[in-house]
Amino acid sequence: MDFTTLIDVESLRTLIGTPGTLVLDCRFDLAAPTAGRQAHLLGHIPGARYLDLNRDLSAPVSATSGRHPLPDPQALAAHLAGFGLGPDTQAVVYDESNGSFAARAWWLLRWLGHPKVAVLDGGMDAWLRAKGTLESGEPARGAADPGAGGAHGAGGAHGAKGARGPVAVQVDRRAVVGTDELIAALDNPRTLLIDARAAERFTGAVEPIDPVAGHIPGAANHPFSANLRADGRFLPREELERSWRDRLGAASPTDVIVMCGSGVTACHNLLALERAGFAGARLYAGSWSEWIRDPRRPVAGGSARG
């Protein structure tokens, strides 16, 4: 069975140690960027390799980009191949609990053309509640073995050994919207722009990260937290479907563009849409932090921090 959206703890437990499985730890803290790696070294799901949001899942920030530009696809694919990712690998990504960072990795792997990737529902918290075992430290990284789709040291028996060849990069360029393309799309009345930030950030009541508060005029707000139960797991599929059907209204999923502060938690909404059966939405990768780079772009519901 292939997992392409979510995977539960018990299903992951049966996969660990089997050929063709790669587990990726995506824990991160925006306020303490090294905390995720430190947590990984202290204890992680057996065989998991660590992906850093800033270093691995994003490119360096430029003068015109948002806070988390998309990484170079070839570089990311090579990095993942070094961990053991091959074309037949079942990848599983997780973070602390709610999937807000793991969903970024989920979307990136799909963007590269690798559909067999799923977010661990409930993340590390769910794993620990289920008495899942942990490993500490990090295995030594060996030389890449193209025939196995990655490195001999990629988690030992827990890596993607047995995959046939390295994963081929087939970037889905339609999945991403740039700022100029977004501006053009907003002239189309069928376009539905959905912002995944918390309501108070969307309205501009507070803005703890970016220098300008508010939202893009015409955007609708669907906080990524609305996809979740209280324990950090996703809502049941039927509830996600009802919630997103209400949000989409008459809009087709292919007319939907999602955004957030920097293109990270927007991927959570893309995952929820996919889970709910509404595939085809696109990511405004630069999101709010790129939009406000140019003061000529309009802002609704907020103001600059003084």
DSSP conformation class of 135: B
260 is known as an active-site residue: yes
| HSE-CB of 47 using CA atoms within 13 angstroms | 27
| The pLDDT of residue 142 is above 80 | no
Q: Which of 40-44, 148-152, 235-239 has the lowest mean pLDDT?
A: 148-152
Q: Is the dihedral of CA 153, 154, 155, 160 positive or negative?
A: negative
Average pLDDT over residues 62-87: 96
In the predicted model, is pLDDT for residue 151 greater than 90?
no
CB-based contacts of 15: which residues, under 8 Å, 6+ apart?
Answer: 7, 21, 90, 92
Please tell me the distance from the alpha carbon of residue 193 to that of residue 196, in angstroms, as a whole number: 10
Task: With cut-offs at 50, 70 and 90, classify the pLDDT of residue 168.
Answer: confident
Q: Find, among 274, 254, 261, the residue nearest to 208 by Cα.
A: 261
The encoded tokens of residue 281 equal: 């939405």
* SS3 letters across 197-235: CCHHHHHCCCCCCCCECCECCCCEECCHHHHECCCCCEC
**Residue 160 confidence (pLDDT) above 90:** no
Question: Residue 57: is its pLDDT beyond 60?
Answer: yes
Q: What is the pLDDT of residue 167?
A: 64
Q: What is the pLDDT of residue 153?
A: 30
pLDDT at 303: 57
Task: Inform me whether the pLDDT recorded for 123 exceeds 50.
Answer: yes
pLDDT exceeds cutoff 60 at 304: no
Residue 141 clears pLDDT 60, i.e. is over it: no
Tens-digit pLDDT profile for residues 271-283: 999 999 999 999 9
Backbone dihedral angles phi then psi of residue 39, each to the nearest 5 degrees: -65, -40
User: Given a cut of 80, is residue 208 above it in pLDDT?
Assistant: yes
What's the rounded mean pLDDT across residues 130-153?
A: 60
Q: pLDDT tens, 24-49?
A: 999 999 999 999 999 999 999 999 99
Q: 260, 264, 276, 283: which is the annotated catalytic residue? A: 260
Q: Considering the chain, what is the average pLDDT of its residues?
A: 91
Q: Which of helix, strand or coil describes residue 130? A: coil
- Asked whether the predicted pLDDT for residue 206 surpasses 60, the reply is yes
Token duo for residue 282: 């696109």
Predicted confidence at residue 156, as pLDDT, reads 34
Structure token digits, residue 25: 């730890």
